[in-house]
Amino acid sequence: MGYEKKILVCENSIEGIFSAVYDGWHWENKGISVKIAAEEPEYPELFADRVDITSDSEKAVKVARTVRRKLGEQVYEAVCYAAVSIHPDKGTAVFYLLRKALGGKRCDRHVLEALADPAVSLVSSLRIKVWHEIHRFYGFVRFRQMAGGILASVIRPENDILEFLGIHFSNRFPNENWMIYDEGREKILVHEKEGECCVYVQKVLNKNAGGFLEEPDEYEEMWRAFCSCIAIKERTDLKLQKQFVPLKFRSNMLEFYE
Amino acid sequence: MIYKESMSLMEKLEILADAAKYDVACTSSGTDRKGDGSGIGNSITPGICHSFSGDGRCISLLKVLYTNECVFDCKYCANRASNDVVRTSFTPEEISRLTIEFYRRNYIEGLFLSSGVKDSPDATMEELIRSAEILRNQYHFQGYIHLKAIPGASPELICRAGYLADRMSVNLELPTAEGLKKLAPHKSRQTILRPMKQIQTVCEENKRELTVYRHAPEFVPAGQSTQMIIGAVGESDFQIVSTAEALYRKFSLKRVFYSAFVAVNEDKALPVLPQGPPLLREHRLYQADWLLRFYGFRAEELLSEEHPNFNLFLDPKCDWAISHLQYFPVEINKADYRTLLRVPGIGEKSARRIVGARRYHSLDFPELKKIGVVLKRAVYFITCNGRQMYPIKLEEDYIVRNIMESGRMPFSSSEVTYRQLSLFDDDKMIVDRNEVL
């Protein structure tokens, strides 16, 4: 039997990757090797068929439901975090992790422990990376108050974590109108107060949207003063500070503005 | 004393944040509480750091004093009664508004409210409680609140504060009772330990109550903490670690914080530290603290009367392992979790991952690296399937020399087989601290 390989090119989102996992499953069952690319491959690969996958929410929901039911919330979370990372091989790693856990009628809820497997090892390192970034932004998002008490924030995360921030912040500020804008991806997360805590993710049409923030208010001044007062000058250690807040995060944190 | 009438909120914040900076505990961890939708805020177990100040410490809470007026005269404190500094106070309304406005902008996880003792301990405690009450009841604030128990405040007030706060703390200030008597004449071990015991007792009762009535109000759900000043009265590391261990055992504290002594006052009772605060010593104490809490070590294993201080050149775990070579090497594929935890270079997470991963197949050195084991330290103490990574002598001198040349793996570059002459030419690299400082 000859060697066959398919490259599934899908949309760069959890839904896209799950749809590709759904379609790839049958081919892998037939002994065809599968690769999932969430971005357009730079070079066409020799001896491999290219298949374009259209995102299908029904397929994605099926995959998500199966993973949650059979493998548990922990594996599901790991797979979702890996799927929003920026690593180019994330799709393939997610696919082979699920094959290892569920292929051939298996059901291995402890699959994340099999760290010697390259797919598992990649997914679990991506999970940690993405979780770290989410956790950092839980703290580093800075809202500025605009007219009418609306809170607005601009961030530039490495991984596509906006939706995960939505879960946290809508629980934290249920009675506020707020939005978080992802500069790099030009996406915005909007939360309206009262009623359902809804989270919309949409492409921003106006390219100058970064300039929507208004003038600083007195509390920003007080926060800056607080941050400088709270440091003990005998213990100054700027290197340690940089380790915890790398420069790339500081552009949107007002206490670091000169 | 200098009083100033009508100060702006900004001026007050500058003075009272500056006065609170020596308090170490800025953690927001230990409570998991979802917002119920009625107000503002929630809290997650690991806590969240919102920023880091220029000294590399985390800023998680709005850490301020309620007032810096104080009737006590603790020698090490910038706000002692005999110091001539500008004094001011917040009002409960100011504190709570500031907290909410900072919280909405996602600057902080909540409030850390400490205070000098104004008029009497009870009067001060009342004010702290009032501030927390406004936050909880008027703003329906569900974020984190850390309140100080003022030494000498009445048990009823401590109890009321406990139902409003997530964490409470009473500062032990100094690790020895003699030290406390010398430097903090208005405080005594008794006024410090009494509220600590009370918080522990009520906390335990509350836990039992909560198992029966799920919606009963929670008392200090994130537990209590304390802090001590390091290097102010010439105590030994052994005394400090033993005190910390006793606090964890007898008072079920969540955390003990160590704060390197910073000379803010000139006083004949205080040491002079021309090299600055003993930061490395503080670091070693924190490392030892982790060994006590998570690695199953006991204080007397790490130090003793004869060997009372930590080696400043090696971390406490390495130091322990090197002087207990009879327990090594440890076989990665067979050793139980507790034994793995004692190997330098293997932490809690990697030990757990090793135990999980070896159920699939046996592990070798490259896999250990992937798992997150720090091989440059672990390599001397482990075998994989009976083999060492390199032919290594299990010998004190040899291991110390290699670990000290930080980052170097054995056999990686120029191999030094002779023993290098150095300033600290002592077998165990124990250096009298007075010489180093």
Are B328 and B249 part of one and the same domain? no
Partner residue facing A115 (CB), from B34, B102, B367? B367
Note the pLDDT of residue A16.
94
Residue A143 touches partner B, C-beta closer than 8 Å: yes
Note the pLDDT of residue B427.
44
Domain holding A79, by residue range, is: 5-133
Domain holding B127, by residue range, is: 2-265+275-302
Are B159 and B181 part of one and the same domain? yes
Are B219 and B329 part of one and the same domain? no
Residue B354: its chain A contacts at CB < 8 A?
none
Partner residue facing B107 (CB), from A110, A223, A231? A223
**Residue B307, domain member (yes or no):** no
Q: Which phi and psi angles does B222 have, rounded to 5°?
A: -95, 10
Are A147 and A249 part of one and the same domain? yes
Are A161 and A214 part of one and the same domain? yes
Are B217 and B287 part of one and the same domain? yes
Are A20 and A114 part of one and the same domain? yes
Rounded distance between C-alpha atoms, residue B358 and residue B353, angstroms? 8
Note the pLDDT of residue B309.
92
Nearest CA-CA distance, residue B298 and chain A, Å: 30
Residue in chain B lying closest to A246 (CA) = B52
What number is the average pLDDT over the span A153-164? 92
Note the pLDDT of residue B139.
95
CB B260 within 8 A of CB B284: no
Q: Which phi and psi angles does B415 have, rounded to 5°?
A: -85, 120
Partner residue facing B371 (CB), from A115, A176, A221? A115
One-letter amino acid for residue B298 of the chain: R
CB contacts < 8 A, A to B, total 153
Note the pLDDT of residue B437.
39
Are B215 and B331 part of one and the same domain? no
Are A127 and A213 part of one and the same domain? no
Nearest CA-CA distance, residue A24 and chain B, Å: 26
**Residue B404, domain member (yes or no):** yes
Residue A215 has pLDDT above 80, yes or no: no
Number of structural domains chain B divides into: 2
Residue in chain B lying closest to A238 (CA) = B54
Rounded distance between C-alpha atoms, residue A22 and residue B363, angstroms? 33
Q: Which phi and psi angles does B151 have, rounded to 5°?
A: -60, 130
Are B173 and B256 part of one and the same domain? yes
**For the domain that residue B120 is a member of, what is the CATH number?**
3.20.20.70
Q: Who's near B59: CB < 8 A, 6+ residues apart?
A: A227, A230, B26, B49, B50, B51, B52, B53, B108
Contact B17 A142 (CB under 8 A): no
Are A164 and A230 part of one and the same domain? yes
Are B291 and B371 part of one and the same domain? no
Domain boundary residue, one of A133, A160, A192? A133
What are the helix (H) ranges across B224-278?
237-251
Nearest CA-CA distance, residue B416 and chain A, Å: 32
Partner residue facing B13 (CB), from A145, A176, A226? A226
Residue A145: its chain B contacts at CB < 8 A?
104-105
Rounded distance between C-alpha atoms, residue B97 and residue B131, angstroms? 10
Buried b (16+ CB within 10 A) or exposed e, B128-148: bbbbbebbbeebebbbbbbbb
- Beta strands B167-169 and B382-383, pairing class: unpaired
Domain boundary residue, one of A133, A160, A194? A133
Rounded distance between C-alpha atoms, residue B372 and residue B346, angstroms? 8
Residue A210 has pLDDT above 60, yes or no: no
Are B403 and B363 part of one and the same domain? yes
In 10 A of CB B10, how many CB atoms? Answer: 14
Q: What is the pLDDT along chain B (437 residues), one digit of tens a residue?
A: 556 667 899 999 999 999 999 988 778 888 889 988 889 999 999 999 999 999 999 999 999 999 999 999 999 999 999 999 999 999 999 999 999 999 999 999 999 999 999 989 999 999 999 999 999 999 999 999 999 999 999 999 999 999 999 999 999 999 999 999 999 988 888 889 999 999 999 999 999 999 999 888 999 999 999 999 999 988 999 999 999 999 999 999 999 999 999 988 888 888 888 888 999 999 999 999 999 999 999 999 999 998 899 988 889 999 999 989 999 999 999 999 999 999 999 999 999 999 998 888 889 998 898 888 999 899 999 999 988 888 888 888 888 888 887 555 554 444 444 455 555 544 444 444 444 43
Mutate to test the interface with A, among B12, B18, B22, B55 (most CBs of A within 10 A): B55
Q: Please identify among residues 171-190 of chain A the ones whose CB lies closer than 8 Å to any CB of chain B.
A: 171-176
Mutate to test the interface with A, among B50, B60, B261 (most CBs of A within 10 A): B50
Q: pLDDT tens, B188-225?
A: 888 899 999 999 999 999 999 999 998 889 999 999 99
Are B133 and B186 part of one and the same domain? yes
Nearest CA-CA distance, residue B277 and chain A, Å: 7
Are A63 and A169 part of one and the same domain? no
Q: Who's near A127: CB < 8 A, 6+ residues apart?
A: A77, A78, A81, A82
Nearest to B13 by CA among A257, A218, A189: A218
Domain boundary residue, one of A111, A133, A155? A133
Note the pLDDT of residue B398.
84
Give A203-210's long-range contacts (Cβ < 8 A, gap of 24+): A209/A181, A210/A154, A210/A181, A210/A183
Note the pLDDT of residue A108.
87
Note the pLDDT of residue B370.
86
Contact B50 A113 (CB under 8 A): no
Are B370 and B298 part of one and the same domain? no
Are A80 and A185 part of one and the same domain? no
Note the pLDDT of residue B422.
56
Residue in chain A lying closest to B53 (CA) = A231
Integer-rounded Cα radius of gyration of chain B: 24
Are B336 and B296 part of one and the same domain? no
Partner residue facing A113 (CB), from B40, B102, B359? B359
Nearest CA-CA distance, residue A185 and chain B, Å: 22
Partner residue facing B17 (CB), from A115, A140, A229? A229
Are B363 and B258 part of one and the same domain? no
CB B312 within 8 A of CB B237: no
What number is the average pLDDT over the span A208-230? 81
Number of structural domains chain A divides into: 2
Are A127 and A146 part of one and the same domain? no
Which of the four pLDDT bands, split at 50, 70 and 90, describes residue A2? Answer: low
Q: Who's near B191: CB < 8 A, 6+ residues apart?
A: B151, B152
Note the pLDDT of residue B430.
42
**Residue B308, domain member (yes or no):** no
Nearest CA-CA distance, residue A117 and chain B, Å: 10
ω into B151 cis (within 30 of 0): no
Rounded distance between C-alpha atoms, residue B91 and residue B66, angstroms? 8
Residue A135 touches partner B, C-beta closer than 8 Å: yes
Nearest CA-CA distance, residue A109 and chain B, Å: 12
CB B94 within 8 A of CB B62: no
One-letter amino acid for residue B386 of the chain: G
| Sign of the alpha-carbon torsion through B295, B298, B301, B302 | positive
φ/ψ region of B119 (left if φ > 0, alpha if ψ in -120 to 50, else beta) reads: left
Contact B52 A241 (CB under 8 A): yes
Are A90 and A195 part of one and the same domain? no
One-letter amino acid for residue A49 of the chain: D
Q: pLDDT tens, A45-100?
A: 778 888 899 999 999 999 999 999 999 999 999 999 999 999 999 999 999 999 99
Residue B359: its chain A contacts at CB < 8 A?
110, 113
The ipTM is 0.90
| Sign of the alpha-carbon torsion through A209, A215, A219, A223 | positive
Q: Encoding tokens for residue A29? A: 């069952």
Are A165 and A188 part of one and the same domain? yes
Are A19 and A126 part of one and the same domain? yes
Contact A245 B51 (CB under 8 A): yes
Are A10 and A127 part of one and the same domain? yes
Q: pLDDT tens, B37-82?
A: 889 999 999 999 999 999 999 999 999 999 999 999 999 999 999 9
- Burial of A73 per CB tally in 10 Å (0-12, 13-18, 19+): exposed
Number of separate helices (H) and strands (E) present in chain A: 9, 8
Partner residue facing B262 (CB), from A121, A135, A234? A234
In 10 A of CB B64, how many CB atoms? Answer: 29
Give B175-181's long-range contacts (Cβ < 8 A, gap of 24+): B175/B228, B175/B230, B175/B235, B175/B239, B175/B240, B175/B243, B176/B233, B176/B235, B176/B239, B176/B243, B178/B233, B179/B232, B179/B233, B179/B235
Nearest to B232 by CA among B296, B300, B195, B281: B281
